[in-house]
Amino acid sequence: MRRRRPILASLCLLLALALVRPGPAAAAKDELVIGITQFPSTLHPNIDSMMAKSYVLGMTRRPFTAYDRKWQLVCMLCVTLPTIENGLARPVDLPDGRRGVEVTYTIQPGARWGDGVPVTTKDVVFTWEIGRHPMSGVTSAEGYRRITRIDVKDERTFTVHVDRLTYEFAASGSFQLVPEHLEREAFADPAQYRFRTKFDTDPTNPGLHFGPYRIVEVASGSHIVLERNSTWYGPPPAFRRIVVRAIENTAALEANLLSGAIDYIAGELGLSLEQAMAFETRHRDRFAVAYKPGLVYEHIDLNLDNPILKDRRVREALLLAIDREKLTQSLFGGRQPVARGAIHPLDWIHADDLPAYAYDARRAAALLDEAGWTRQGGGTRLNAAGEKLTFELMTTAGNRTRELVQQVLQSQWRQVGIEVRLRNEPPRVFFGETVTKRRFPAMAMFAWLSAPESVPRTTLHSQSIPRADNNFSGQNSTGYANPEMDRLIEAIEVELDRDRRRALWHALQHLYAQDLPVLPLFFRSDSFILPRWLSGIEPTGHQYPTTLWVENWRDARP
Amino acid sequence: MSAPGIRRRDFAARLWRRPGARAAVLVLALLAGGALAAPVLAGLMGRDAETVDLLARLAPPSLAHPLGTDELGRDTLLRLLYGGRVSLLVGLVGAVAAATLGTLIGLVAGYFGGRVDALLMRLCDGFLALPLLPLLIVLAAIDPAKLGVPQSLAGGDDASIYRIVALVALVGWTGVSRLVRATVLSLRERDFVTAAVSIGAGPWRIMLRHLLPNALSPILVATTLAVGSVILVESVLSFLGLGIQPPMASWGSMLTNAQELITTAPELAVYPGLLIFATVVACNVLGDALQEAIDPQQQARESGA
Amino acid sequence: MSRFLVHRFLQAAALVAIMSFACYALIGLMPGDPIDLLLSSDPRLTPEDVARLKALHGLDRPLVERYLAWLEKAVHGEFGYSRLYAQPAAGVLWPRLVNTAALMGTTLVLAAGLALPIGVAAAARAGTRFDRIVNALCFAGISVPTFWLALILILVFAVSLGWLPAAGIPMARDPGVVDRLRHLVLPVATLALATLGGHVRYVRAAMVEALHQDFIRTAHAKGLAPRRVLWRHALRNALLPYVTVLALDCGTLVSGALVTETMFGYPGMGKLIFDAVMGNDYNLALLALLLVTALTVACNLAADLVYAALDPRIRQR
């Protein structure tokens, strides 16, 4: 029997490990553990654009301006929001005949980096230097390149000269400050900057951030630990410590929440709506679920080069034949509003009088008959040449919600005699090749993420159609080209008067609903799974994360 | 041409005497029968496995839906049966394809020997050294168009099945090729082979008519065992989003989909999980029983121990 | 013997070299690239941004050219920077490697430690009900989809019973050994349950084989205690083939377990390789894949050498 002991011993050890548990959790929590589904690869604010990174950095730094939860542009790092009325923004005529703008910002007086060094205009100029350098590896450089000059007034005040006047002049969300006193050395060789930046080589350096929290530990692929930053100029946050934990599998994420290993699942990168609704019905005693329909526009791009889809009647019939209202009611509990176009109903420019294209199978059938696609009995419609009315609907493989919607749509189209075949690809293939190179033969279902009042130049302007001769740049993957749409886009961009701009926006939305280059589906909702004791989290519904207001979060228990 | 091999009747009797084998065959026959009968049953029930009914989502079992419905109101029983068609087909075809490739390579290596053998066996070592899962991922994500596969094949409804079968064959041939090579090496110098050579039989004739029949039993065992593991591999690929694509379903993809609803509708995960489990266990037990029925010596030893 | 050694060593080196190109080419065959993927998450990116980033990451050059450039540096020990993590590839790899070695090493020790006594006991009672039950349990273990097993374990032990943490790695800044081990229990249990069956079957088969050799009969005839014969004489003979199997398995020490790592949010090599391959992070993916290949080849070589040293028939060749 001597040989049995190792087994016995290891079983005892296992049991002991199972029963030794850390002391009971404190009543009033000063630590918050947040679960998200993605781990940020780099922590440099201007390299790569990943939601997980924006989420974490929302706690450690602030952009100059951001949209708040009422979708109004507000100042974060600046003192006063520049407008033309208050004189801080001034349109100017440029030598080449175009119109530019000069915008003046003042940095918050108390702003200091975590190592005590004040945030100054030196950092602003340095960030601009990095941003416009072609070798620095900054992802979105457009905003930096548009800046022709920065005039420094003093330590905290500066004026930016932009070579193009648009109504979005103050939306500087992508201008994220980099500390000059720490990063200058790494930028000595710009081509090596992205490898040498302290954001990745020394991510816990307190001097890299100036927000309410600073990063104290990065466990790659697992979690990031943040603690209060003593140099923060705003109201002190309630939680002493915040841990952001990445668990990719949502079933495992949910299990971690239930077992108490994490406190809260962020809506920005959390459970699918369906999962959240199922969760809510079972655990509403302990958790509250907040749903926020956001600026994620789920839609189906139609390839307008497809001979069948060229016919507008067919496109309208496709839209009329699907019951989007019933779909969102039954799959999403009505929490994802049906979209009438690309503009979100909460956006102030939204036109409320757009045609609804509500479910009407009879009208759809009539339109198809009219377009020459007739049906004998219950099969697929044929045209005069005996060809079948058939399309291929593609989307990202592995996205369960999309796959469900896809199968519902397929089933509904079959009712009116439209045969739809499904073909899905992994996201990297789907976005990397199929959509960007317009390789989908008929329909591609995916989502656009946008900001409030964002101009659809890259998605609807005829110059943005990806072609071999422009190296497949642009995101107008339907191939939509309408001179009137081009005119409206160009006019909106430079119209500073809100009322006139709204009128232009309404015209654009009506034209979109008339031409139907895209079948609008719905706006996706984020679901935030909050423990009952956690208060202060206010979902925004756009790409600015809730963490930008992390200092308002608190444990509501006495 | 009567090569020393399996005496069939003895073999079958020996196999049948093993209780595990009987149960395994029964389970596999039931599952395969259900999968084959799926269209018939669908006809009898007057519904198909793909029609969505949003008003009957996650319905409990009833007369109309013996196992209830899934999250889109489709009949769970029918989906399971159709899923079984895909899973069993992928398992069987994948295992057979891998065995065929392995047998060919093993025969060639063992028969010709020398340089050819060395080259093929180093290739085999190379494949064994490859990390299997990352390789599967890379292969699953490769664009078939870049390899010159015609669009009609790459874009069809069954493309994901072909892809998985090809993947499994590509990475799974090594075991069988070693087995076959070893058998061929041991037989090459035997009288009946040298006799065949002396009457002028060509190498392919010798390989296929004389050597292959003698290697069949280990191949059979290995293939039976492989069916189970291919079904498991398919479920892992589904878990990673690289498996069977909707609206087609396999047990693996159904299991993966059910994960998110595990607390609301656990039965949706239990059924496919159980079916995968039962199939794989049955394949393993059957393979094991075959092995022992083929090699009665070992059985004799065991009962004597 | 030394000629045999040199020969095998050269073969192994050539294999690793060929593998490096195969991996590179395979990643190159994957469609799309990550810069295009960025577009879908950030519509503000302009065409100029895309072109600039592609040039910066060298994605606009032909595959062979990129491979040769990589090879030249790799020969000098420079494996370049990870594109995803913006750090030296080796630096990204190291902590993951440690994590994976901890996870897989514990699993391997546990599985082998349990498999030896169970397998020996089953072999000693071959054909009995005990043997059949062990066999059935082994098959059951082998036949469960891993992610399913992991989910069940999490639901039972972390959610329902609340005995163990559901995550594979503690979040405290300086976790104690106990805390680390507690977090390891469920992932290790998942992996051990999934692999134990295979190990037990190997041990059992090797023991059955050993028990039928002449010297065992002689030992019994000499009147040695049955237990002594079993554990001393037979086991010693059965260990050699089993250790060889273990050696062949040691590649998994670094390749990790993708599914288990994903389910438990465990930052190991499996997940890293998956992310690197999916994110077109050539430098990182290559270094990781090469490391895994090299180690597997080295283990195979070691197993061969051990065999050669112990088995006179091979030595004479």
Q: How far apart are CA A456 and CA A517, in angstroms?
A: 13
Q: Give the nearest partner residue to B260 out of A251, A423, A426, using CB atoms.
A: A251
Residue A513 falls inside a structural domain:
yes
**Which residues of A fall within a CB distance of 8 Å from C41?**
49-51, 449
Amino acid identity at B212:
L
Q: Which pLDDT belongs to residue B300?
A: 46
One-letter-per-residue 3-state SS of B86-130: HHHHHHHHHHHHHHHHHHHHHHHHHHHCHHHHHHHHHHHHHHHHC
Per-residue model confidence as pLDDT tens digits over C47-70: 677 777 777 777 777 778 888 888
| A450-463 residue pLDDT tens | 778 888 888 899 98
Q: Which of C30, C127, C273 sits opposite B134 (nearest CB)?
A: C273
Residue C164 burial (CB < 10 Å; 0-12/13-18/19+)?
A: buried
Between CA A507 and CA A484 the distance in angstroms is: 10
* Residue A94 included in any domain: no
Bridge-based pairing of strands A534-535 and A554-555 is antiparallel
Give the closest residue to B266 by CA, choosing from B274, B254, B258.
B258
pLDDT value at position A18?
52
The pLDDT assigned to B88 comes to 92
**Among all residues of chain A, which has the CA nearest to that of C45?**
A140
Q: How far is CA C96 from CA A222, C78, C269, in A?
A: 10, 19, 6
User: Do C117 and C231 contact (CB within 8 A), yes or no?
Assistant: no
What count of Cα atoms within 13 Å lies in the side-chain half-sphere of residue B53? Answer: 16
pLDDT of residue C298 exceeding 50, the answer is yes
Q: Which member of B57, B245, B262 has the closest CB to residue A424?
A: B245
- Asked if B54 lies within 8 A of A331 by C-beta distance, the reply is yes
Q: What is the rounded average pLDDT of the residues C159-183?
A: 77
Q: Which residues of A touch C53 (CB under 8 A)?
A: 137, 139
Q: Which of A:9-68 have CB within 8 Å of B?
A: none
Nearest CA of chain B to the CA of A288: how many Å?
A: 17
Nearest-CB residue to B260 (from A331, A400, A426): A400
Q: What is the DSSP letter of B209?
A: I
First to last CA, chain C: 8
Mean pLDDT to the nearest integer, C4-20: 79
Amino acid, single-letter form, for residue A157:
T
Classify domain B66-304 by CATH number: 1.10.3720.10
Cβ contact, residue pair C38, A49, below 8 Å: yes
- For A12-16, A212-216, A253-257, B198-202, which range has the lowest pLDDT when averaged over its residues? A12-16
pLDDT above 90 covers a percentage of chain B that reads 9
H-helix or E-strand containing A218?
Answer: strand A213-219
Antiparallel, parallel or unpaired: β A443-449 and A390-396: parallel
Q: Tell me: pLDDT of A413 over 90.
A: yes
pLDDT computed for residue C65 by the predictor = 82
Give the number of other CB atoms < 10 A from CB of residue A161: 16
- Contact between chains at C162 and A259 (C-beta distance less than 8 A): yes
pLDDT at position A483? 95
Q: What is the mean pLDDT of residues A17-30?
A: 55
Q: Which two tokens stand for residue B94?
A: 């994948």
Would you call C142 and B255 a contact, using CB atoms and an 8 Å cutoff? no
Tokens 């696609």 belong to A373
What is the reported pLDDT for A97?
A: 81
Residues of B with Cβ-Cβ distance to C132 under 8 angstroms: 20
Distance CA C235, CA C228 (A): 10
Q: Is residue A296 within 8 Å of A447, Cβ to Cβ?
A: yes
Structure tokens at B75: 């009949």
Cα distance between residue B86 and residue B237, in whole Å: 14
DSSP secondary structure letter of residue A187: G
- Which of A:143-162 have CB within 8 Å of C? none
Cβ-contact B70, B82 below 8 angstroms: no
pLDDT(A156) > 90: yes
DSSP β-bridge partners for residue A147 = A162
Provide φ and ψ at A297, rounded to 5°.
-100, 105
Phi then psi for residue A481, to 5 deg, are -140, 110
Nearest to B126 among C15, C144, C278 (CB): C15
Q: 3-class secondary structure for A18-61? A: HHCCCCCCCCCCCEEEEEECCCCCCCCCCCCCCHHHHHHHHHHC
pLDDT at A5: 47
Per-residue pLDDT at A542 exceeds 50: yes
B242/A398 touch (CB, cutoff 8 Å), yes or no: yes
Cβ pairs bridging B and C (under 8 Å):
121
Instruction: Answer whether A224's CB lies under 8 Å from A50's CB.
Output: no
Cβ-based neighbour number of residue C83 at 10 Å? 25
Chains that touch C (3 or more CB pairs under 8 A): A, B
* Chain Cα centroid distance, residue A94: 34
| A220 interface with C at CB cutoff 8 Å | yes
Distance from C-alpha of C128 to C-alpha of C122, rounded to nearest angstrom: 8
Q: Are strands A157-162 and A147-152 parallel, antiparallel or unpaired?
A: antiparallel
Contact partners for chain A, using 3 or more CB pairs closer than 8 A, are: B, C
- Residue A384 within a domain: yes
Contact A247, C167 (CB under 8 A): yes
Residue C316, token pair as written in the block: 């004479």
Q: Is the per-residue pLDDT at B248 higher than 70?
A: yes
Residue at token pair 């036109």: A351
Percent of chain A at pLDDT above 90? Answer: 51
- Domain of A497 in residue numbering reads as 296-523
How much of chain C exceeds pLDDT 90, in percent?
1
Interface of A with B in 230-269 (CB under 8 A): 249-251, 254
Which run of H or E residues covers position C207? helix C177-211
CB-based contact, A512 to chain B, within 8 Å: no
Beta strand A264-265 pairing with A287-302: unpaired
Q: Tell me the nearest-neighbour CA distance from C218 into chain A, angstroms.
A: 24
For residue A1, what pLDDT is reported? Answer: 36
Q: For residue range C157-170, list pLDDT tens digits in order.
A: 888 888 888 777 77
Q: Is residue A278 part of a domain?
A: no
Task: Kindly tell me if the per-residue pLDDT of C223 is higher than 60.
Answer: yes
Q: Are B289 and B299 in contact (CB under 8 A)?
A: no
Q: What is the pLDDT of residue B3?
A: 41
> Is A308 within a domain?
yes
Pick from B139, B95, B151: nearest CA to B237: B139
Residues of B in contact with C124 (CB under 8 A): 305
Is A422 within 8 Å of B246 when comparing Cβ atoms?
Answer: yes
Is the pLDDT score of A21 beyond 60? no
List residues of chain C with CB under 8 Å from any CB of chain B: 11, 15, 18-19, 23, 26-27, 29-31, 124, 126-127, 132, 135, 139-140, 142-148, 151, 155, 208, 211-212, 251, 255, 258-259, 270, 273-274, 277-278, 289, 292-293, 296-297, 300
- How many CB atoms sit inside 10 A of residue A209's CB? 28
Sign of the four-CA dihedral B62, B68, B69, B75: negative
C99 burial type by CB count under 10 A (0-12 exposed, 13-18 middle, 19+ buried): buried
Domains of chain C: 89-316 (1.10.3720.10)
As a whole number of angstroms, the distance between CA B209 and CA B189 comes to: 16
pLDDT of residue C228: 73
pLDDT band at B298 (very low <50, low <70, confident <90, very high): low
The answer to whether A220 contacts C267, with C-beta atoms less than 8 Å apart, is yes
Give percent of chain B with pLDDT exceeding 70: 84
**Residue of A258, A330, A393 to mutate for B, most B C-beta atoms under 10 A:** A330
pLDDT tens digit sequence for B111-149? 888 888 888 887 887 777 666 666 666 666 666 666 666
Higher pLDDT, C142 or A512: A512
What residues in B contact C135, CB-CB < 8 Å? 288
Give residue-wise pLDDT tens across range B79-95. Answer: 899 889 989 999 999 99
| pLDDT beyond 90 at A211 | yes
Please give the mean pLDDT across all residues of chain C: 79
Which residues of A fall within a CB distance of 8 Å from C40?
A: 427, 431, 435, 446
**Torsions phi, psi of C259, nearest 5?**
-65, -50
What's the total number of domains in chain A?
1
A33 touches chain C (CB under 8 A): yes
Confidence of residue A26 (pLDDT cuts 50, 70, 90): very low
pLDDT of C314 above 60? no
Check pLDDT > 70 for residue A30: yes
In order of A23, A273, A356, C26, C282, the CA distances from C275 in angstroms are 36, 25, 42, 15, 11
Answer whether B236's CB lies under 8 Å from B72's CB.
Answer: no
Query: The domain that contains A473 carries what CATH number?
Result: 3.10.105.10
Nearest CA in chain C to A5: C117
**Nearest to C59, CA basis, from A471, A376, A350:** A471
Nearest to C127 among B131, B255, B305 (CB): B305
Measured between alpha carbons, how far apart are the two ends of chain A, in Å?
58
Unique residue bearing structure tokens 């030893």: B301
Measure CB to CB from residue A458 to each of C43, C181, C267 and give the nearest one: C43
Interface test with A, best of C27, C29, C30, C41 (most A CBs within 10 A): C41
Burial tier of C298 (Cβ tally within 10 Å: 0-12, 13-18, 19+)? middle
Higher pLDDT, A385 or C218: A385
Q: What Rg value do the Cα atoms of chain C yield, rounded?
A: 24
pLDDT number for residue C317: 39
Residue type at position A338: V
Which residue spans within chain C are E strands per DSSP? none
CB atoms within 10 A of CB A85: 7
Asked whether residue A283 is domain-assigned, the answer is no
The answer as to whether A543 is a domain residue is no
Instruction: Return the ∠ at Cα A221 (arms to A219 and A225), rounded to 5°.
Output: 35
pLDDT, averaged across chain A: 87
Of the candidate ranges A157-171, A267-281, B43-57, the one whose mean pLDDT is the lowest: B43-57
8 Å CB contact of C40 and A174: no
- Lowest mean pLDDT: which of A95-104, A163-172, A208-217, B216-225? A163-172
With an 8 Å Cβ cutoff, are B239 and C259 in contact? yes
- Chain B residues whose beta carbon lies within 8 Å of the beta carbon of residue A412: 52
| pLDDT number for residue A445 | 94
* Averaged confidence pLDDT in chain B: 79
Contact between A546 and A268 (Cβ < 8 Å): yes
C116/chain B closest Cα distance in angstroms: 19
Subunit contact A14:C185, Cβ cutoff 8 A:
yes
Q: What's the whole-number mean pLDDT along residues B215-222?
A: 84
pLDDT class for B5, splitting at 50, 70, 90? very low
> Which tens digits make up the pLDDT trace of A277-328?
888 988 888 999 999 888 889 999 999 999 999 999 999 999 999 999 999 9
